[in-house]
Chain A
Amino acid sequence: MKNILKIMNLNLYYDEFQALKDINIDIENNKVTALIGPSGCGKSTFLKCLNRMNDLIEICSIFGEIEYKEENIYKPNYDVINLRTKVGMVFQKPNPFPMSIFDNVAYGPRCQGIKEKKRLEEIVISSLKSAALYEEVKDRMKKSALSLSGGQQQRLCIARAIAMEPEVILMDEPTSSLDPIATLRIEELINELKKKYTIIIVTHSMQQAARISDNTAFFLMGELIEFNKTDKIFTTPLQQKTEDYITGRFG
């Protein structure tokens, strides 16, 4: 299985407004896929379809199919909870819970019923290590997560997602609220993480997309304009609109 996620004829409406128009895209295993496009083109909306976070929005209706490991996640009685443990998410603004650093990372496993202290400790430590945060917080695991800096908080959120042992990690502009140094650390981390996980990242920065992604999808007004290898998109785009966007002629 080369493509872990297959999106077929995806149409999405907020009430009357069509936010996604007939999207078809295959997401490759263990690759970083970047979603770019001007603001309001539907990148976040698309991302939230992949772990069904759009279910929470009452006015949102979805048509088409999304296959995760060859199973349609929108079919009736599909186990959404299980999907969300396998397809983790990191949000635009770091949103750690107002709890200790330890409890933040242990939260997901605990919700899955893991109670054993030793087991939880192992998970927390290895997740923090994977998120390149362990060295910075190992002496203050019991401290509030909100005492961390923005960049640390975002890496904590990544650790929190990793603790669920997901296969896919969705990231919605994870560095947009961070300073350049914290951004660089997250980018290095993403390069590290793609060895183990499939990553789909929304970014408003084309340089970031070029630096970290293998494939890039360009969205415009709810449509997928072009999807290709990242170097192709940035060197020889097939569509005029893509070229206009990456050369900064609009958006």
Chain B
Amino acid sequence: MRKNCMFLWIMAFLLFGFINPVLAVTTDMYENSDTGYKVIIEDDANLLSYNEEQSLADSMEKLTEYGNIAFKSISKNGYGSASRYAEKYYHETFGKESGTVFLIDMSQRKIYIFSDGQNYKTITKSKAETITDNVYKHASNKEYFECADEAYSQMYTILEGGKIAEPMKYISNALIAVMLALFANFAIFKIATKNRAASVNEQIKECAFSCTHTNPSVRQTGEHRVYSPVSDSSSSGGSSGGGGGSSGGGGGHSF
């Protein structure tokens, strides 16, 4: 019974995989002979002309220095969200390799950039958001080629900058180390040399103290009221979002 159940699940999963548009035919436009990274353009939504595709492929070539680079446009999204689609598409096309995909999801009217591997270290989620933020207006104006071309050009700038940023990382680490060391030493010194004043309790212990009193008498003197509205003060527990498991990430923008 249990095994059957499992089998059904696997079948369902496979079926879902087959009708999945992600498994469309891929066309390699270019492969970098030094790095082995590829350029892939899949214009399922027919947004680009043949010439535009060639021209886009040319400008995408230089990005293969850092990772795979893909253009994908879709008119139907079986995953519901552009980010989820981009992630699935990328992993099924390139696996865990370094690279970036630029997705135009016409069904959601959304553009999305997803990166993984080494590329994700430079084209981070916030970087992807910045880029899509910069180019979504082209998509709104139906200038899909300009939109994609501009996005790749900005990605390239960031990736090139990432190369320059490498020494920056060492400088940053060194400065952080200096800062932490200074602070640690400072804190240690402060604690080791603190002259703590004797507390009132310590002082009092040394006093000769005696105290007796008669049974207290209690007399009511009046009454006062305090404003305190009746309310259902049930506090709600915080909900924490779980997740994780997948590497890589990206950002997008509606258009």
User: Do A and B interact with each other, yes or no?
Assistant: no
